[in-house]
Amino acid sequence: MLLVLAGCGGGSGSNSPSLVTPPVADDPLAAYAWHLNNTGPTQTVSAIDNSDAVAGIDAHVASVHLGGAGLTGKGIRIAVVDSGLEIGHEDVSPNVLAGMSFNFLNNSSDPSPSRTRADSNLADHGTAVAGVAAAKGWNNLGSRGLAPNASLQGFAPLELVNGVAEGLSFGAHADLVTAVSGTDLVLANTFGSRADLVDIFNYSAGADYASPKTDPTAPDPRTISAHYGTTALRAGKGAIYFQAAGNEFLGSREAFLQDGSTMLVRCAGAYAQDGILERFSNSAAGYSCLDTNYEIQGQPYFMKVAAIAANGRVAPYSSAGASNWVTGFGGESGTDKPAIVAPDDSGCDLGQNNVANQASLVARYAAAALKLVADLFGQSKLDPHCNYTGTMNGTSAAAPSLSGIAALMLEANPALSWLDVKYILAKTARQVDSGIAHGAQAVTYLPVGASQPLVLSDPWVTNQGGFHFQPRYGFGLADAAAAVAMAKTYAPPSGRRAAPLTANLSGASSASNLAPSAGNVAVITQDATFPAGVSGPIQVDLTLTNTTGRALNPGTLQFELLNTLTGERSILLPAYGAWYVGGKTDQILANGRQQFRFFTNAFYGDSLTGTWTLQIMLVDGPANESSTFNTSTLTGVTLTSYSI
């Protein structure tokens, strides 16, 4: 995500004795791009240490590209909604559609970074994002994108992409132009039809929350525009939407409270300060501080993309949550461990790869930096104008890797709908890191007075629909070759329907306390039954009234959904995340009401037959809290299953 982009790059000069010529002549930096072809620990990459790399942890894209003779994204349009897009960059400009980008600062068609920000020495995030998706291939420059011949458009800058601008950027012009007036109508008319022919929208950004939003059910432009785009664009087949899952696994520099103010959140530090860190397994090392369900805008239309590192494990920063869809390629810092090779601001005085950062690298890493700098970046033989960086990372990089893969799928089969693309990506994703949340990697919390821990994150589960799912990875690691192969011979799954299904509540809600061995944990449950059908993503809405007579910290609540017929469970939101930290300020006051909305993909492909149970647990309250945290606490429960 944009707010937590990290890393730096630079160059030490072309006369370094450690200069190494890559093994291929075309796209000279592609040999260092592990996400395109990971050959393991001996591969030279954009980092000092590649010793734990795992061969094959890459996009499996070589057999699709076939050296440029195969599928490369030709004819597919990708819109990058971001900080900017340097439309004149040597490795991006061949794929930029002339006049089809937009700069909301000056209502022009040039969103280049010098025109979208005050400080042009900051690296342009959007240019790197666009390059991961669709940097030009086989032109003897830089690296290449996952879809190296796809077309690019940029809508920027992010700080102005809100309200009407957000709706326009995500494809809702035709819907908006009939509903707005005044200056909004002028903007809509100026923007015009730029997004009408976009196939894929990439959003490597988002917001973090340290407390529940005031009203998660209020319409927001991103959701409205994506709903329109999945209905009307691509001649009714629907546009494809990707969003970065977030880089907030460990914390956030800027998490919003209900009044709009922000706070720094570092969960492990807060737990240590409060004397509860020892209650977490692994000192909370395997536990996501901010959850993808904190940000529900755009759901269920956007696919949230987590990030993997070259070692075959989820990147340390990548946010977990039940609403993750798939995992792309984000890497690590790009100094100690490899990140992603991507276009940077052109010139040696701009962007991540500039002479100041070069000097900083050399000062920090001494001789070790010479390999990093001279082999790849700076004023070197491979990059004499400092136009590329090896420090692009984060779920910001993972999302456009999926945008590129989706472009290959659409070239292979232009008839695919947005639902088809989602289905294929879920079906062909690879299950990696099989030990996550098992044994030493278990993620648990021991409530006050408990002898048995509360599970905060589930291991990989293969559901009744045959899909494997885990909150840090979604359905798994994207595989371009498998996705394209399935796209070529694709037939929609049985059980697809046009409209979502809503469950009916079955029976009254119940309240109880867990067994004493579980500590002070009060539980409210509500059963529901769906009409017959196959489940897609499930949306869970509920309202809690604080009937306890005291202020509640919302971070002490855990929300779960259970399919009682199959025994499957999805932790919609675990207790003791960032909401616990922010909840010290943003409490749910006595008799206060709070609406919640969550999404889960864990039951994708399941039969909806049977009883579904929503379970809310209040952790670490007084003993026998169910006498007040009871059936009158929970109202407004609605379960909605979208189409598969």
Predicted TM-score (pTM) of this structure: 0.94
Q: Torsions phi, psi of 283, nearest 5?
A: 50, 35
- pLDDT, residue 590, reads 96
Q: Check whether 535 has a pLDDT greater than 80.
A: yes
DSSP 167-188: HHHTT-HHHHTTT--HHHHHHH
Nearest by Cα to 431 from 393, 459, 396 = 459
Quick one: pLDDT band at residue 375, thresholds 50, 70, 90?
Answer: low
Kindly indicate the confidence band of residue 370, based on its pLDDT and cuts at 50, 70 and 90: low
Q: Is the pLDDT of residue 369 over 70?
A: no
pLDDT at res. 384: 87
Question: Sorting pLDDT into bands at 50, 70 and 90, what band is 246?
Answer: very high
pLDDT at 349: 82
Residues 6+ apart with CB under 8 A from 192: 173
| Residue 311 pLDDT > 90 | yes
Is pLDDT above 70 for 151?
yes
What's the confidence (pLDDT) of residue 15? 31
How far is the C-alpha of 570 from the C-alpha of 600, rounded, in Å? Answer: 7
CATH architecture of 2-249+288-426: 3-Layer(aba) Sandwich (3.40)
Name 533's Cβ contacts closer than 8 Å, sequence gap at least 6. Answer: 495, 497, 501, 607, 608, 641
| pLDDT value of residue 21 | 42
| Boundaries of every domain in the chain | 2-249+288-426, 501-641
pLDDT digits (tens, 9 = 90+) for 273-292: 999 999 999 889 999 999 99
Q: Measured between alpha carbons, how far is 455 from 576 in angstroms, rounded to an integer?
A: 11
Q: Which amino acid is at 578?
A: A
CA–CA separation, 247 and 331 (whole Å): 12
Confidence of residue 377 (pLDDT cuts 50, 70, 90): low
pLDDT of residue 592: 95
pLDDT at 80 exceeding the cut of 80: yes
Q: How far, rounded to the nearest angstrom, does the alpha carbon of residue 423 sit from its chain's CA centroid?
A: 17
Among positive and negative, which fits the CA dihedral 99, 102, 103, 106? positive
pLDDT(19) > 50 = no
pLDDT at 5 over 90: no
Given a cut of 60, whether residue 185 has pLDDT beyond it is yes
Q: How far is CA 546 from CA 259, 589, 635, in A?
A: 20, 7, 11
Could you say which of 1.10.10.10, 2.60.120.260, 3.10.105.10, 2.40.30.170 is the CATH number of the domain covering 501-641?
2.60.120.260
